[in-house]
Amino acid sequence: MWQSEFVQEELRRLYPSCVVEILGMSTRGDEILNVSLAKVGGKGLFVKELEAALADGRADIAVHSAKDVPMELPEGFCLAAIGLREDPRDAFVSSSHASLEALPRGAVVGTSSLRREAQLRERYPGLAFGALRGNLDTRLSKLDRGDYDAIVLAVAGLKRLGLGSRVRAVIEPEVSLPAAGQGALAIECRAEREDLITMLAALNDPATAACVRAERAVSRALGGSCQLPLGAYAELEGADAGKVIWLRGLVAAPDGSRIVRAEARGPTQAPETVGQQLAQSLLAQGADDILSTLQ
């Protein structure tokens, strides 16, 4: 809802005569909280109902967390804009410990992400992990009542809801590589709505869009979903005129016993090509072996 209200205010600012109403909806991803996303259908659970509202005309646009948008959109839909990115990193949240390094052996870390769990298992083999679902308030309340010693969340979500003070430490990409699209907002509409696509272009951040498109291309090439512990994170390097995409990616066994990593660089004008190159590098290093065990 925060994301939708943010986009609503931006559209009102850009187009004062435009009436922008919010159609509040609950998705299956919001409702199924006792089972991991990997077991009940993955990220598409957060967008299917919204796409149905676009298809039948109840809604004109849908606002998503970019990391929740499936890599293959249904025919007739498009991402018209990808907004300026908030901090894409993961956050360490704990009431009694200052960092991952400070956690004692056997401490329980809550996370809903196989990607996070696999990377942290590799680096901190003495920790235990527990599934964590629900909205931010629910997750934080579970931590505060002692269900976990620490939890790992997205920095962006905490900041957007005014909960940035709960971040005890930011986890750098070298420790936990973010998910494709993490921290960015994506606005979806019907591909035939050229009027909306033109309007929404004002909300598109070209730098963020190039990075997210490269990240999504990696995940798309590897069949990325919640069932796959996959990280992909792009940054822009260089001066304005000569910036290139620096893209890092990984595929992991869920238990962290094996992680394949690679990186690639390429022009901002061809983000999908950079993503495909990185995916091929991961496959060449054995990512397909990991993927085959997850089918």
Q: Is residue 177 part of a domain?
A: no
Q: What tokens were used for 101?
A: 């390094």
Q: What distance in Å separates the CA atoms of residue 20 and residue 16, rounded to the nearest whole number?
A: 10
Q: Which amino acid is at 91?
A: A
Question: Catalytic residues, which ones?
Answer: 68
Q: What distance in Å separates the CA atoms of residue 50 and residue 27, rounded to the nearest whole number?
A: 8
Q: What tokens were used for 178?
A: 């973010």
Burial of 30 (0-12, 13-18, 19+ CB in 10 A): middle
Region 222-242 average pLDDT? 84
Q: Is residue 139 part of a domain?
A: yes
Place of tokens 């009940």: 40
Are 122 and 77 within one domain?
A: no
Are 59 and 191 within one domain?
A: yes
Are 209 and 195 within one domain?
A: no
What digits encode the pLDDT tens for the residues 29-86?
444 444 444 444 445 556 888 999 999 999 999 999 999 899 999 999 999 999 999 9
Query: 182 phi and psi, to 5 degrees?
Result: -60, 135
Place of tokens 């499936």: 70
Are 192 and 80 within one domain?
A: yes
The CATH number of the domain holding residue 282 is 3.30.160.40
Summary mean pLDDT of the chain: 92
Q: Considering the entire predicted model, what is its pTM?
A: 0.90
Q: What tokens were used for 221?
A: 């090439």
Are 108 and 57 within one domain?
A: no
Are 274 and 254 within one domain?
A: yes
Residue 27: partners with Cβ closer than 8 Å, 6 or more residues away: 45, 46, 47, 48, 49, 50
Are 62 and 129 within one domain?
A: no
Region 106-124 average pLDDT? 96
Place of tokens 């083999």: 125
Q: Is residue 122 part of a domain?
A: yes
Q: For residue 133, what is the DSSP state?
A: -
Are 131 and 76 within one domain?
A: no
The CATH number of the domain holding residue 27 is 3.40.190.10
- Sequence-separated contacts (24+) of 43-51 with Cβ below 8 Å: 43/67, 43/68, 43/69, 43/70, 43/225, 43/226, 44/70, 47/188, 49/25, 50/25, 50/188, 51/77, 51/188
Region 231-250 average pLDDT? 92
Q: What is the domain range of residue 136?
A: 90-171
pLDDT of residue 224: 63
Are 200 and 255 within one domain?
A: no
pLDDT tier for residue 228 given thresholds of 50, 70 and 90: confident
pLDDT tier for residue 26 given thresholds of 50, 70 and 90: confident
Q: Is the dihedral of CA 174, 176, 180, 182 positive or negative?
A: negative
| Beta carbons of 62 and 189 less than 8 angstroms apart | yes
Are 198 and 253 within one domain?
A: no
- Structural domains in the chain (count): 3
